C-alpha cells in the first residue's frame, strides 16, 4: 500500500515537472536553440544536481544535492571542485530471516532493542546518516598529444571516513581519432561502526550485556586501475573500451548485517538468550575484481544513441552483466527527451548464505546481505532536457529501479517466508548547468 502511494506521489511530481517542461518548450517554440555557453579561459562553469531516492516498503530514502564548479585555467587546463551531501533515513534489511514468531533484535549501539512482527521481513530501522564528500581534480596538458589529471576525494559520514587520490594520463594519436587512457586510484577507508565492529560470527547479545564487538577502528585499502581506449569510427560515431582492475584489502564486513541460526525445522534455534538467535556476518578480508566495459555512441541526425555493456567478475565468484541503453530524441527547439533502460544481473558470492543451521558446522565466511545474492535488476527512466535563453541547461529525470532476487532454497517452517523479497526504488533528479 505504502509502496503504491509512494510510487504514485513520485510519478505525480514527475509528471507535473514534465508537463511544466513541455509547456515551457511550447512557449519558446519559435526561438532558435541557444548555443551552449563557451567556457573561455578564466571562466567558472557551475553544475548543480539534486537527487531524491526512495525505496519501497519504507526502506531507504535519500536526498543528495551536488554542486560542481569548474574553472578553465588555460587552453587545456581545468580545475574541478565538487561537493556532495547525502542524507539518508529509513530501514535496511538486517540479513535475518522472517519467522512465524515476533523477533527481538538489539540495536547496533547495544543500548536499545526493536521487535519485528511475526511473518515480517526483518528490517533494521536504526539507519540514519549524513555523508559529505569533497572532490578536487586538476587536468592539464603534458605535451601536444598528452594530458594528465590529478585528483583527491574525501568522504565522511558518522561511522565511515574515506580518502582517496588518483592520477591519470591520456594520449591522443592517429590524427586524434584514438585516445589511450591509464588511471590509478588509491583509497583508504576507516570504519568506526556504531557500537563497535562485531566479532565475526559473534552472537547478538541482549541490551545491557557485553556485546560481541571490538572497540578499535577498522580499515580498508583499495587500489583501482583503469585502462581504456576511445576510438572515432566515422563522422557520427565512436566507441570506448575499458579494462578495470580493483583490489581491496581490509575490513569488508557490513557491521550491521546478521545471519539467522535455524534448527532442523526451519525455526530460530532456541539457545535460551532472549534476543533472536543471529550471528554477525563474516566476509573475506580481500577482494579482487576485473571488469570489461564497452560503449558505443552515435549521432543519428540530431538524435543520439548511447549503448554500453559491462562484464565484471571477482574472486568472491560474483559475475555480473550490465547493459545500458539511452536514446536522446532532439526536439526542434533544442530540448530533448531521453528514455533510458538498464539491465543488470549478478550471480551470488560463493559465501552468500541466507541463513545458518545449528546442525551444520560454521563455514569460514558467510553473509546473508541481499546485495551478495543472485538477482536481476532493471532501471527504466525518462529525462527531459532544455536550455534557457541564456544558454543554461535544465534536466529533469525520473527513473524506476526494480530488483528481483532468486529465492534461495528453503525447508520446514521457512517455506512460509520470503527470504529475498523484490523491491523497487524511485529516483527523481534535477540538474542545472550554468
Partner 1 sequence: MKQKSLLLLAILGFSLLSGCSTMGVDAWEKDLLAKPEMALDEQPLTDALDDHIYFSKEASSGGRAYAGGGCGCN
> Which residues between 73 and 132 bind partner 1 (CB under 8 A)?
82, 84, 86, 88, 92, 127, 131
Q: Are the beta carbons of 163 and 186 closer than 8 angstroms?
A: no
The answer to the question of residue 349 lying near partner 1 (CB under 8 A) is: yes
Q: Which of residues 308-347 bind partner 1 (CB under 8 A)?
A: 308, 310, 312-314, 316, 318, 320, 322, 328, 344, 346
Q: Are the beta carbons of 284 and 121 closer than 8 angstroms?
A: no
Cell of residue 366, nine digits: 558467510
Nearest Cα residue to 96 out of 274, 276, 255, 272: 276
Q: Which of 54, 166, 260, 333 touches partner 1 (CB under 8 A)?
A: 166
CB of residue 185 vs partner 1: minimum separation in angstroms? 5
Residue with cell 555523508: 131
Q: Which is nearer to partner 1, 276 or 318 (CB)?
A: 318
- Burial tier of 11 (Cβ tally within 10 Å: 0-12, 13-18, 19+): middle
CB of residue 224 vs partner 1: minimum separation in angstroms? 5
Quickly count helices (H) and strands (E) in the chain: 1, 25
Q: Are the beta carbons of 184 and 224 closer than 8 angstroms?
A: yes
Residues 6+ apart with CB under 8 A from 362: 201, 356
The answer to the question of residue 290 lying near partner 1 (CB under 8 A) is: yes
Cell of residue 431, nine digits: 540538474
Q: Which of 73, 134, 233, 323 touches partner 1 (CB under 8 A)?
A: 233
**With CB under 8 A as the contact rule, which of the stretches 71-79, 151-159, 201-209, 276-284 interacts with partner 1?**
151-159
Q: Which is nearer to partner 1, 186 or 411 (CB)?
A: 186
Q: Which is nearer to partner 1, 269 or 293 (CB)?
A: 293
Q: Which is nearer to partner 1, 50 or 269 (CB)?
A: 50
The answer to the question of residue 170 lying near partner 1 (CB under 8 A) is: no
Residues 6+ apart with CB under 8 A from 16: none
Q: Are the beta carbons of 311 and 320 closer than 8 angstroms?
A: yes
Q: Which is nearer to partner 1, 269 or 296 (CB)?
A: 296
**With CB under 8 A as the contact rule, which of the stretches 1-9, 103-111, 260-268, 295-303 interacts with partner 1?**
295-303
Q: Are the beta carbons of 197 and 224 closer than 8 angstroms?
A: no
Annotate 84-133 with DSSP letters as a single string. EEEEEES-EE-SPPP-SS-EEEE-TTSS-EEEE-TT---EETT-EEEEEE
The answer to the question of residue 424 lying near partner 1 (CB under 8 A) is: no
Q: Are the beta carbons of 192 and 168 closer than 8 angstroms?
A: no
Q: How far apart are CA 89 and CA 423, in angstroms?
A: 17
Q: Are the beta carbons of 24 and 380 closer than 8 angstroms?
A: no
- How many residues in the shown chain lie near partner 1 by CB under 8 A? 94
Q: Which is nearer to partner 1, 229 or 341 (CB)?
A: 229
Q: Which of 258, 289, 335, 353 touches partner 1 (CB under 8 A)?
A: 289
Annotate 341-352 with DSSP letters as a single string. EEEEEEPPPTTB
The answer to the question of residue 368 lying near partner 1 (CB under 8 A) is: no
Q: Which of residues 372-401 bind partner 1 (CB under 8 A)?
A: 372, 377, 395, 397, 401
Q: Which of residues 13-32 bind partner 1 (CB under 8 A)?
A: none
Q: Which of residues 187-226 bind partner 1 (CB under 8 A)?
A: 187, 189, 191, 193, 222, 224, 226
Q: Which of residues 42-71 bind partner 1 (CB under 8 A)?
A: 47, 49, 51, 53, 60, 64, 66, 68
CB of residue 422 vs partner 1: minimum separation in angstroms? 13
Amino acid at each position: 500500500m505504502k509502496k503504491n502511494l509512494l510510487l504514485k506521489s513520485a510519478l505525480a511530481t514527475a509528471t507535473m515537472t514534465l508537463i511544466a517542461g513541455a509547456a515551457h518548450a511550447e512557449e519558446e517554440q519559435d526561438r532558435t536553440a541557444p548555443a551552449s555557453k563557451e567556457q573561455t579561459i578564466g571562466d567558472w562553469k557551475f553544475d548543480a544536481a539534486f537527487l531524491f531516492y526512495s525505496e519501497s516498503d519504507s526502506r531507504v530514502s535519500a536526498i543528495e544535492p551536488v554542486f560542481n564548479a569548474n574553472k578553465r585555467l588555460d587552453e587545456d587546463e581545468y580545475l574541478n571542485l565538487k561537493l556532495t551531501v547525502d542524507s539518508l533515513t529509513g530501514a535496511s534489511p538486517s540479513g535475518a530471516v522472517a519467522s512465524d514468531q515476533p523477533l527481538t533484535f538489539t540495536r547496533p549501539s547495544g543500548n536499545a532493542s526493536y521487535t519485528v512482527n511475526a511473518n515480517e521481513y526483518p528490517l533494521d530501522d536504526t539507519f540514519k546518516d549524513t555523508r559529505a564528500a569533497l572532490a578536487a581534480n586538476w587536468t592539464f596538458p603534458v605535451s601536444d598529444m598528452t594530458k594528465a589529471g590529478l585528483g583527491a576525494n574525501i568522504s565522511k559520514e558518522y561511522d565511515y571516513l574515506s580518502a582517496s587520490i588518483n592520477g591519470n594520463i591520456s594520449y591522443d594519436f592517429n590524427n586524434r581519432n584514438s585516445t589511450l587512457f591509464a588511471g590509478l586510484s588509491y583509497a583508504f577507508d576507516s570504519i568506526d561502526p556504531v557500537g563497535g565492529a562485531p566479532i565475526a560470527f559473534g552472537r547478538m547479545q541482549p541490551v545491557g550485556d557485553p556485546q560481541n564487538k571490538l572497540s578499535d577502528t577498522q580499515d580498508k585499502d583499495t587500489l583501482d586501475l583503469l585502462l581504456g581506449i576511445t576510438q572515432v569510427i566515422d563522422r557520427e560515431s565512436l566507441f570506448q573500451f575499458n579494462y578495470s582492475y580493483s583490489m581491496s584489502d581490509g575490513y569488508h564486513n557490513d557491521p550491521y548485517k546478521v545471519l539467522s541460526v535455524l534448527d532442523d525445522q526451519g525455526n530460530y534455534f532456541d539457545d535460551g538468550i532472549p534476543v533472536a538467535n543471529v550471528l554477525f556476518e563474516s566476509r573475506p578480508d580481500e577482494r579482487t575484481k576485473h571488469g570489461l566495459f564497452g560503449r558505443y555512441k552515435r549521432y543519428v541526425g540530431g538524435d543520439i544513441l548511447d549503448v554500453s555493456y559491462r562484464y565484471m567478475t571477482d574472486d568472491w565468484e560474483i559475475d555480473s552483466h550490465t547493459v545500458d541503453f539511452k536514446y536522446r530524441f532532439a526536439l526542434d527547439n533544442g530540448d530533448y527527451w531521453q528514455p533510458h533502460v538498464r539491465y543488470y544481473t549478478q550471480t551470488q558470492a560463493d559465501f552468500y548464505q541466507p541463513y545458518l543451521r545449528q546442525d551444520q558446522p560454521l563455514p569460514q565466511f558467510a553473509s546473508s546481505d541481499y546485495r551478495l545474492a543472485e538477482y536481476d535488476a532493471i532501471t527504466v527512466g525518462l529525462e527531459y532536457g532544455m536550455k534557457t535563453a541564456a544558454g543554461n541547461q535544465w534536466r529533469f529525470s525520473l527513473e524506476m529501479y526494480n530488483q528481483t532476487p532468486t529465492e534461495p532454497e528453503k525447508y520446514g517452517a521457512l517455506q512460509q517466508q520470503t527470504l529475498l523479497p523484490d523491491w523497487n526504488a524511485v529516483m527523481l533528479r534535477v540538474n542545472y548547468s550554468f
